[in-house]
A and B are shown apart, each in its own frame.
Chain A
Amino acid sequence: MTTAHMPLRLTTGSGRRRARFSRFMTGVMAVAVLLALIPLLLIIGVTVAKGLPALNWEFLTSTFNHSRREAGGGYLHGLVGTLYMGGLAALMSIPMGIGAAIFLTEFPRHRLSGPVRFFSDVMTGVPSVFVGLFVYTILVRQIGFGTFVGALSLAIIMLPIVVRSSEEVLRLVPGELKRASYALGATQWQTVFGVALPTAAPGLITGSMLAVARALGETAPLVLTALAAQSVVIDFQGGGQTALPLLIFREARGAFEAGQQRAWAGALELMMLVLLLTVLARLVGRQSRYRG
C-alpha cells in the first residue's frame, strides 16, 4: 500500500540527476588522483631514465677509484656506508622508540608521558640539518667524524617516527585482550610482552621500516657527521664514512658529465633500496593483526 502523495514509480528525475552527479564527482576525483601522481611518476621516471644507463655491475660492486672526470667506478662504499649507518641507527632507535611507545601506552597518566609525547612531536618536525649540527657540536668535535656519529644522527631522526608510529599501533591493541591476559594472572610485563607486542608486531615492523627508509635518504646530518670517504669503511668510528646520499650530493653538483651519470645511478640505487624496504614493510603490515 502506498501513501497518496508518494509517486508509485521509483525511477524519477531526481534519481537520474543523482546518478549523473555521482559520475561527475567520481571523474573529478580521478583527475585529482592523477594530478597527485604526476610529480611522483615524473621523479621515478626521470630517475630510472637517467640512472639506468649507468647502473651496471661495475657501479654496484666497485668503489670510487677513478678520476671524477672519467666514467667508471661505483658507489659500493656509499651502499656499504648507508647500510652500515642505517643498520646501526635502527639498532639504536628501534628498541628505544618501541620502549618509549610502550611507556606511553602503559602509563598514559605518568607525569613524564606528556613531555615524552610532546618532544617526540617536536623532534619529528626538527629539520635534519639541526640534528647534524647538534651531533657535530656535542660529539664530532670531541671524537671526530665517522660511522658511529653518522648513525647516531640518523637514529635521532628515526626515533620520534618510531615512537609515534609504535604508539599508534600499540594503542590499537584491543583492551579486551589485555584484560583477558590480566584475568589469567599475567603481570603487566607479561601482558606487554605476551599479548600487546605480538599483537602489534606487524604494525611495529612497518613503522620501524618506514623510519629506516626515511633515514637512509637523509643527507644533511651526514654531511656534518659522516663527512666523506673514498673507499669502503668498516671502522666503527674515526676517519669519516660515506653514504649514497652524500655521494649523490657531491657528484650531482660537480661539473663533470661522468660524475653526474654516477649520481643518477646512485639515486636510482637508493630509490630502489628505499622502495624495497617500503614494500617489505607493506607486506609485513598487510598480514592481519590477528594472525596465528
Chain B
Amino acid sequence: MSPITIELKPRTKDLLPGMHLREGATIDAQPMAAEPDAVFDLRDVAVLYGDFVAVRGISLGIERHEITALIGPSGCGKSTLLRSLNRMNDLIPGAHVSGQITYNGEDIYHADVDPVEVRRRIGMVFQKPNPFPKSIYDNVAFGPRLNGFRGDMDELVERSLRGAALWDEVKDKLRANGLSLSGGQQQRLCIARAIATEPDVILMDEPCSALDPIATLRIEELMHELKANYTIIIVTHNMQQAARVSDRTAFLTVNVDDRLGMRTGELVEFDRTDRIFTSPADKRTEDYITGRFG
C-alpha cells in the first residue's frame, strides 16, 4: 500500500510516514483550520504530574463517529492522555496539561471552561467495571439526574440499557443491585450509564482488561454499534483488539532519559488502523505490533 491511497487530512499530514515528529512543533505555529468532522484536535500536548512529564509532543486529530485506539507499552502515557481529554486528570493533584486540546473547536483547558461541563459531554468507561452500589436503574439514571433531567426517565433508562446491549438481560430486575451482575454485564452497565447522559464522545480506558473473552467480544460488538452515534477513543493493551475494533490507531512509546531517569511517553505513529498493522511507517511500531518489543 502506498501513502497516496489514503485520504490525506491537513492535520494528519505532519504525522505522515517519514516526517519527523519533532517538526510538529514548527507546524503548530501555523494557523490551521480545524477539521469540520474532527471532534478533538490535539496540538503538541504534554501531560505533567508535578515536574514529571508523563507524555509529551502529542499532536493528532480524532474523527467523529470513528473508533480511535491508543496502543503502546506500559507507562507510555496512553491512559494519561485519555484522561486529559475529559479533564479527569484535574482530579490528580499536581497534574497539568500543556499544549492545546480543542473539542469541537473549543479549547477544553481554557480558564473559562467548566470541567464538569466537559465531562458531561465526554463520557468515560473505566478499566475495572465500577457500577455504583445502587440499583441497575439508579446507576443508569445517576447522570441524567445530575443534569436535572425532566423527561421520561424509564424510557431513557431502557434506551440506554438497550444501547449497551444489556436490556434483555436485566429488564426484569432493574431494582437489583448493579453489583449483582457479572463482570461483563457490569461493564455494559457502566457503558449504559455513560451513554445515558447522551455524551458526544466515550473514552474507554482498557474496558475489557478485566473481562473474559466472551464478555470482551460482546463489548467489542457493542463498540461497533455505538460508533454510529458516538465517537469512541479506546486505550487498550490488546493489539488484536485495537486491530479488530478501531478505525485509527495511535502508537505511543516510552522514551527513557537515562540522564534524568525520566520515562516519557511519545507518539510514534498515528494512522489508519489497517496501515498501522500492515505497513507501519516506523520501525518501532513494527517491532511492537510484531511482538519484538513491549
A residues at B contact (CB < 8 Å): 109, 174, 176-177, 179-187, 190, 194-195, 198-199, 288-292
Contact = CB atoms under 8 A, between A and B. Distances in A.
Contact of A187 (B116, B131, B135, B179): B116
Given A176-B126, A184-B146, A185-B197, A290 B91 contact: no
Interface stretch (B29-37, B56-64, B117-125, B247-255): B117-125
B130 A292 contact: no
A191 to B, nearest CB: 9
A183 B133 contact: no
B133 A182 contact: no
A184 B197 contact: yes
Given A176-B128, A183-B123, A185-B116, A291 B88 contact: no
Contacts of B177: 290-292
Nearest to A174: B130
A183 B88 contact: yes
Nearest to A291: B133
Contacts of B194: 183-184
B193 interface: yes
Majority SS at the chain B contact face:
mixed
Nearest to B115: A182
A109 B93 CA distance: 9
Interface in B45-95: 86, 88, 91, 93
A292 B197 CA distance: 21
B119 A292 contact: no
Which of the listed residues B131, B142, B179 has the most CB atoms from chain A within 10 Å of its own CB? Answer: B142
A198 B145 CA distance: 16
B134 to A, nearest CB: 6
21 contacts: A109-B93, A174-B130, A179-B126, A180-B126, A180-B130, A180-B131, A180-B190, A182-B91, A183-B88, A183-B126, A184-B119, A184-B123, A184-B143, A185-B146, A186-B142, A186-B143, A190-B146, A199-B133, A290-B179, A291-B133, A291-B177
A198 to B, nearest CB: 7
B193 A184 contact: yes
A188 to B, nearest CB: 9
B162 interface: no
Interface string B136-178: 0000001100110000000000000000000000000001110
A184 B160 CA distance: 14
Contacts of B179: 290
A109 to B, nearest CB: 6
A185 B126 contact: no
B146 A186 contact: yes
Given A184-B146, A186-B142, 10 more contacts: A176-B128, A177-B130, A179-B88, A183-B124, A184-B123, A184-B193, A186-B146, A199-B132, A292-B134, A292-B135
A190 B116 CA distance: 11
B133 A289 contact: yes
Contacts of A289: 133
Which of the listed residues A176, A179, A182 has the most CB atoms from chain B within 10 Å of its own CB? Answer: A182
A292 B133 contact: yes
